[in-house]
Amino acid sequence: MLFTLFKSFAPLVVLLAGPGMCAGADRDCERCLEVRLRHEVNSYSSRVGDRVQGVLIAPFRVDGFDRVAAGARVWGEVAEVRRVGVGFVRETAALTLRFTELETGPGVRMAIGSRVVTIDNARERVDGDGRIRGIRSTNTPGFRASGLLTSFAAVDPIALAFSTAAFATLLRFSEPEIRLQAGTELLLELREPLPLAPLPPPLLGLPAPVPAALLERLPYRTQTAERRVESDITNLIFAGEPAAIERAFLAAGWQMPEALSAATRYRTLRAMAENQEYKEAPMSLLLLDGEAPVQSWAKALNTFAKRHHLRVYATKERWLDRPVFTAAATQDVSINFSRGRELFTHLIDEQIDRERSKVVSDLLFTGCIDAVGLEPRRWVPETVFNATGQNLVTDRQAAVLVFNSCSGARQFDEAVAEAPGPHRGNRVARIARQTVLTFRNDIYRGSLWYQGASIVTQGLRHYRRSRSALRPVVGPTITGRTAKSPQVAGDPATWAPPAVELTFRAGMMVFSNSSIGAEGLRIAHPHRPNETLTLRAANRVAPGFAVGGGVTVNQFRWYSHELSFGYQRGEFRMDLEGLTRIAEQRSGFLTRQFSYNGLVHLRPRESRWRPYIAAGPVLQLVQLTGAPFTKARGLFRFGLNNVGMFRAAYGFGNVPPLEGGGIFQTGLQVGGGVRYRVSRHWTVRLDYRNTCSPRPDLLRKSLEPQIMPERLERGRVAQQRVGLGIAFTF
């Protein structure tokens, strides 16, 4: 019954059998099945032998004729599972699915041999044996960058605390387990050809050709919003009500992208750095005949780097008593750096007809299409460049789809079974997995040299790829030349509110009315033990300089979180009373601070001027600048670089200050400041902070036996910092 039902609407018309009808660069094969999973499979809970079921979402075609209709089912089993678990045994997951039966008619099954070739829009890769291989969590761009910077910071425990907290705030740890939810689309390659007869021709052809005059009136080339550079080519025409089109795309598993804002920019950055999904990621604005799209749709799986997407534009035309819309559909296949425009951008599948066919297959599957066909457009060029410099290749035809009311659409993720179990474990298991995988990574790849070499290798690889893939736009276009207009300065009223600020600052330290106090010393004569010398050490701190940086997360409209690291130096002056001919002793008074401040703003996040007050705790390390540089030793030099540096730094905190050690302290910081947003991505800041902390016992810790408690005079340390900073805002 199911086969008969789908046979009536799912096959593509014969005209749609042109080149590149299967979406994806590796789908052009005579023995490939496009399959959608009907229940979840994951590496954490699935077991070998578990049954797997899928459904064909596009007809299986041989020599241009349908042999198996869309809607037919396939069956198989889980042949291999390798889960990461806690992470002691392996760092990556693996999963192998073997589909062995195909429905070729109502109640008729045929044995097949197949292997998975690819997973649509997935971060996982599939090897030559059909094994699905998961990602390594410690190999994401964000983790590699944080590991490199943390290695630099590990020579200082305060810098290490700041860098660790900052990256934990900005980035998540990527989940290494494989999860293929219901609705995940796979491409299967048959090992042997199937002896199947052609099916009867489908009955979904257009009731009449689209009038040539109507086609010629429809604009077909989009442009960027600011520079008016010509970009995508429209390849779809819809005849239907907007609500019906929306219901059809939702049923097919497509989602509306979120609006571009500071929050979505931040989520985009995180998804790219973590190699995580962001299905609602915003799309850049492209205009058609000066008008913005009325609908935008995207379909992704579990990575930001790959997705199907299209923009739908309204027209003034009507056909078959329905309003007419036109759309431009492309598929993002990776992320790369555009050398011509100095920005990161998506690379698309240059064969744009494949994405046209993907959209048609998805919409046909829902049952929301009454008719479909291809209409030639001889005036459209076969090859053009888009706005990022990629070549676009098309057969110059547009797929025309006639929508019904779409009131009972078939959903893309209809499940026939429950999930096998949790796909990643509880919070305790995830924390344990993150800890073990990070520790393993430090053992194998923790040295600064390894990470630096890895960054250089990846950079060269991306450079070579971008050099061949993306170039500045040089034509041809519709007009034969690039259509550019002068860059228009952005209106501050249109700037998205800031989500994250990365700040560098410099300024001066003032120790107003501060001193380390005074201490009495009783020193025995080295040759006459009965004779002692009594001294009084009066200790003061003079002004100096301060540099540092921070990360500010503007999560709320009036309140922000800020993590900061500061390198602050004054001058320690010790005046010894009791000895003649000894001048005042001087040394650098160095404080390294890691602080958290809550910022309460006096103006909302949308304002360019934002005065604020701040308060929060501080962890600091006080040191006299004669302390030697402490390095990791022994085994820690060869792999556990971060652990070794922290161990050495901890030991540094136990060394007496006069022998090169330091003192760990906690304190309270209060202050305020003002921000001014100069441009969309740059903000100037003026900050004031006052840090109150206990008196550091520099002499007591070094000369405990000689200290005279009865002559101790307590002092106070108030570190007042005034600094000017610049922040990169996004």
Beta-carbon count within 10 A of 611 CB:
14
Lowest-pLDDT range, 172-181, 280-289, 321-330, 621-630?
621-630
412's torsion region: left (phi>0), alpha (psi -120 to 50) or beta? alpha
Q: CA 482, CA 641: separation in Å to the nearest integer?
A: 52
Q: CA 618, CA 598: separation in Å to the nearest integer?
A: 12
pLDDT tens-digit profile of 268-294?
888 888 888 899 999 989 999 999 999
- The residue type of 680 is R
Residue of higher predicted confidence among 337 and 341: 337
In which residue ranges of the chain is CATH 2.40.128 found? 1-135+176-203
Q: CA 255, CA 412: separation in Å to the nearest integer?
A: 12
Query: Dihedral of CA 155/161/162/166: which sign?
Result: positive
pLDDT category of residue 642 using cuts at 50, 70 and 90: very low
pLDDT at 72: 92
Angle value at C-alpha 270, between 265 and 275, nearest 5 degrees: 130
Beta bridge partners of 461: none
pLDDT at 393: 93
Q: CA 60, CA 54: separation in Å to the nearest integer?
A: 14
CB under 8 Å to 511, separation ≥6 — which residues?
A: 541, 542, 543, 570, 717, 718, 719, 720
Q: CB–CB of 214/324 below 8 Å? A: yes
Ranked by mean pLDDT, the top range of 25-39, 196-210, 644-658 is 196-210
Q: CB–CB of 263/499 below 8 Å? A: yes
Collapsed DSSP state (helix, strand, coil) of residue 367 = coil
pLDDT at 521: 55
In which residue ranges of the chain is CATH 2.40.160.20 found? 492-729
Residue ranges of E strands in 525-655: 532-553, 559-577, 585-601, 609-624
Q: CA 44, CA 546: separation in Å to the nearest integer?
A: 50
DSSP category for residue 267: H
Which residue is it, tokens 């001014």? Answer: 676
End-to-end alpha-carbon separation of the chain, Å? 54
DSSP category for residue 255: B
Q: CA 52, CA 632: separation in Å to the nearest integer?
A: 52
CATH code, residues 1-135+176-203:
2.40.128
Residue of higher predicted confidence among 685 and 195: 685
Closest CA to 536 of 487, 573, 574: 574
Long-range contacts of 376-379 (CB under 8 A, 24+ apart): 377/215, 377/220, 379/216
Beta bridge partners of 179: 42
pLDDT tens-digit profile of 546-573?
999 999 988 788 999 999 999 888 887 7
723's torsion region: left (phi>0), alpha (psi -120 to 50) or beta? beta
Q: What percent of the chain has pLDDT over 70?
A: 75
Lowest-pLDDT range, 202-206, 228-232, 301-305, 631-635?
631-635
Closest CA to 221 of 105, 313, 305: 313
- The residue type of 668 is L
461 CB-contact burial (10 Å; exposed 0-12 / middle 13-18 / buried 19+): exposed
Lowest-pLDDT range, 42-46, 541-545, 657-661?
657-661
pLDDT category of residue 510 using cuts at 50, 70 and 90: confident
Collapsed DSSP state (helix, strand, coil) of residue 321 = coil
Predicted model pTM:
0.76
Inform me whether the pLDDT recorded for 57 exceeds 80: yes
Lowest-pLDDT range, 219-223, 322-326, 331-335, 681-685?
331-335
Q: CB–CB of 130/115 below 8 Å? A: yes
Q: CB–CB of 573/541 below 8 Å? A: yes
pLDDT at 517: 54
Closest CA to 112 of 127, 133, 98: 98
pLDDT category of residue 532 using cuts at 50, 70 and 90: low
* CATH architecture assignment, domain 492-729: Beta Barrel (2.40)
DSSP category for residue 382: S
- The residue type of 430 is R
Phi, psi of 184 (to 5 degrees): -65, 135
pLDDT category of residue 474 using cuts at 50, 70 and 90: very low
Maximum distance among all Cα pairs of the chain, rounded to whole angstroms: 119
pLDDT at 564: 93
Q: CA 419, CA 45: separation in Å to the nearest integer?
A: 9
Mean pLDDT rounded to a whole number for the chain = 80
Query: Dihedral of CA 446/452/453/459: which sign?
Result: positive
Q: CA 282, CA 306: separation in Å to the nearest integer?
A: 13
Query: Could you give the angle at which helices 427-445 and 448-469 cross, rounded to 10 degrees?
Result: 90
pLDDT at 75: 95
Q: CA 727, CA 550: separation in Å to the nearest integer?
A: 9
pLDDT at 340: 47
pLDDT at 576: 61
pLDDT tens-digit profile of 10-33?
333 323 333 333 334 344 567 899
Which residue is it, tokens 């109507």? Answer: 214
Using DSSP bridges, classify how beta strands 369-376 and 397-403 pair: parallel, antiparallel or unpaired.
antiparallel
pLDDT tens-digit profile of 361-400?
999 999 999 999 999 999 999 999 888 888 899 999 999 9
Residue 269: alpha-carbon gap to chain centroid: 4
Q: CA 255, CA 141: separation in Å to the nearest integer?
A: 26
Q: CB–CB of 374/398 below 8 Å? A: yes
Q: What is the mean pLDDT of residues 581-608?
A: 83
Q: CA 100, CA 78: separation in Å to the nearest integer?
A: 11
Inform me whether the pLDDT recorded for 472 exceeds 90: no
Q: CA 184, CA 430: separation in Å to the nearest integer?
A: 24
Collapsed DSSP state (helix, strand, coil) of residue 143 = helix
Q: CA 729, CA 684: separation in Å to the nearest integer?
A: 10
pLDDT at 486: 36
Q: CA 385, CA 393: separation in Å to the nearest integer?
A: 9
Residue of higher predicted confidence among 637 and 174: 174
